[in-house]
Chains A and B, each alone.
Chain A
Amino acid sequence: MNSLYYQKRLSRNIGDKFFTSLSVICALIAILPLIFLVTYILYKGGSQITPELFTLEPNPPGDDLDAGGINPALIGTLIITTIASIIAIPVGVGGGIYLAEYSKGGAFSRFIRFGVNVLAGVPSIIAGVFIYALIVSTKILFGSMYSGLAGGMALSILMLPTVIKTTDEGLKLVPNELRYASLGVGASMYTTILKVTLPSAFRSIATGVVLGIARAAGETAPLIFTALFSYYYITGFGDLFYEMGSLAVLIYNFALEPYDAQNKLAWAASFILVLSILSVNIFSRILAVFTEKTKRV
């Protein structure tokens, strides 16, 4: 009769309690530093934000009084990620279309899917090394060495696997009935893809692509010897062929400076970088939850 009741002292119950508390401890050890990290970055960086930050050039280190602003780096990050997107999105979406719509699971498409996963695992600095060897050291781009263009190319290599994967997976989720219906009324394959399947997968593809862009915006390693860094305003189209600053490289360079003013600039830059990356992530997450709910209804 007694065995029907919960017995605290039973070894299985003690063991259960022990492991439960162990997993709680694991979760606490894992999560608390992470919470601390995010709040610290937002607090420390947020307190450095001033209006001049967005308009001034950074001063070269050594002048400890005033570090200036991060305008060139901010614009540079925008330009470099735009270049990367211009390269990676068409290539990635096109490749994803082939994998999801045309390939029939043969050796070629299996090899490409495998390649996408491998490319996603290539260390980001290797992408920088590759572009350095291919473009920077050969001066193939009209004689310019380090340039924003080369930096954008290095980042596009990192974005490409994400874009292909999200396109491939997004298109695979589109029900086949839509394709049959479209082909059945006489539409050709490309009309079906461009007018029916792509639009209905648009939201999931767009979410994945935007997340990929956000990730690329924070990458530093591919830029440190492709785009290098610049202290000066970006004034025109020709600046694409010269060294270009970016928020990520600014943080790297100025964090290692012994001067307090430069360090503060690095904190401010990381505030802007983290805030924009996190808000893109949170926004896409909310969007995903929202669309999931409407679909269920």
Chain B
Amino acid sequence: MEEKLTLFKNRKRFGIEKNIDIIFKNTALVLSSFVAIILLGIILVVFSQSFESFSRYGLRFLVTSEWNPVKDEYGAFTAIYGTLVTSFLSLLITIPLGVGTAIFITEDFVPKVVREIIGSFVELLAAIPSVVLGLWAIFVMEPFFRAFFVFLHNFFGWIPLFSTEPTGRNSLLAILILVVMLLPIVTSIARDSLNQVPKKLRNAAYGIGASRWKTIFSVILPAALSGIMAGVLLALGRAMGETMAVTMIIGNSNAFSWSLLSPGYTISSMLANQFGEADGSQVSSLFYAAFVLMILSLVVNIFAQWLVKKFSLKY
């Protein structure tokens, strides 16, 4: 007995095994810190490349809209304005549609199988590459909406938003294709957060005599609000950074216009269009624009994460 106990106490791992264990752990540690390295690297590289333009134009870059490689004058106001307008307006259309669809597939209006099929179909659409959506927008959506845009201009031309004659590609089409892209994101996140609301809450509301929609508006939606908001912000980040579909349909013009029916520009479409051929101080200015885009999407993203943490459901 005594002998066995000392044998047990003396049992130790081999040195090699210990070392492998330590090496394995440290490798994993290094690999996980790659994320931080890449993230900081992106911020540093983009900022340092934009430094030349940043020091020359300063914040004036953000409010002037001249983009002239010949005269070496750069200002990204048109692109920044385009990025903000397209992403916010598309979100404005997407939120009611997406949340409405999410309510439709979390309530029991139709059998569960049908709802599940609709839900997974919507999620599948998020997987379609944006360049394919752009192709579709050019050849199907643009001809389809042409007559409608002419109508819009004829009857609402006095509103500055519709004041230009529609000629082919324009910002409004970019907004519409963004709606198609954002719908799956908003719908699936809103559906998940609506599903996470405990059944008890619904039963309690029904129990004190609330109607279905009274329950939805006063109990279920407020309880799911943080999740839905986070989804909306995520979609906003996607909309700002979205490149291909927007580049293909927005018309790519740096001339500033209030009208949605005229060709426009976003930061990402400007990058996609000019980066390949740019040289000299234009490259630096493009990096500056990229830096602005990155800051915008970082702010939206970090705010979304903070929101989730702050207001996440605690039941």
A interface list, Cβ under 8 A from B: 12-13, 15-16, 19-20, 22-27, 29-31, 33-35, 37-38, 40-41, 90-92, 94-99, 101-103, 109, 111-112, 114-119, 121-130, 132-134, 157, 160-161, 164, 188-190, 193, 211, 214-215, 217-221, 224-225, 228, 248, 251-252, 255-256, 263, 266-267, 270, 273-274, 277-278, 281-282, 285
Contacts and interface: CB of A to CB of B under 8 A. Distances in A.
14 contacts: A26-B104, A30-B100, A37-B140, A98-B28, A112-B35, A118-B298, A121-B301, A129-B287, A133-B45, A189-B24, A218-B129, A224-B275, A251-B135, A255-B139
Given A34-B125, A220-B131, A123 B294 contact: yes
Given A123-B242, A277-B129, 11 more contacts: A23-B109, A94-B27, A121-B301, A127-B42, A129-B286, A188-B21, A189-B24, A190-B20, A190-B24, A221-B268, A252-B248
B287 to A, nearest CB: 7
Interface residues of B, number: 89
A126 B294 contact: yes
A128 B272 CA distance: 10
Given A12-B214, A30-B187, A40-B136, A91 B244 contact: no
User: What DSSP secondary structure best describes chain A's contact surface?
Assistant: helix
A23 B46 contact: no
B302 A118 contact: yes
Contacts of B275: 128-129, 132, 224-225
A124 B293 CA distance: 11
Contact of B100 (A26, A34, A95): A26
Contacts of B46: 126, 129-130, 133
B38 A160 contact: yes
A37 B176 CA distance: 13
Given A95-B31, A274-B129, A31 B121 contact: yes
Contacts of A12: 211, 214
Nearest to A250: B131
A24 B109 contact: yes
B240 interface: yes
Nearest to A37: B136
Nearest to B133: A37
B147 interface: no
Contacts of B140: 37, 40
B125 A38 contact: yes
A225 B276 contact: yes
B25 A102 contact: yes
B135 A267 contact: yes
Contacts of A13: 211
B35 A95 contact: yes
B180 A218 contact: no
A95 B39 contact: no
B173 interface: no
A29 B24 CA distance: 52
B32 A95 contact: yes
A228 B272 CA distance: 11
B97 A123 contact: no
B268 A26 contact: no
Interface centre among B38, B109, B132 (most CB of A within 10 A): B132
B219 interface: no
Contacts of A37: 125, 128, 133, 136, 140, 180
Interface in B21-71: 21, 24-25, 27-36, 38-39, 41-42, 45-46, 49
A116 to B, nearest CB: 6
Contact of B107 (A23, A109, A256): A23
A83 to B, nearest CB: 16
A30 B24 CA distance: 49
B134 A15 contact: no
B45 A112 contact: no
B309 to A, nearest CB: 10
B294 A122 contact: yes
B241 A123 contact: yes
B42 A41 contact: no
A126 B104 contact: no
A39 B305 CA distance: 36
B138 A255 contact: yes
Contacts of B293: 123, 125-126
B118 A122 contact: no
A255 B244 CA distance: 11
A278 B36 CA distance: 32
Contact of B121 (A34, A40, A224): A34
Contacts of B229: none
A221 B244 contact: yes
Interface string B197-216: 00000000000000111101
A121 B276 contact: no
A213 to B, nearest CB: 12
A23 B104 contact: yes
B222 interface: no
B1 interface: no
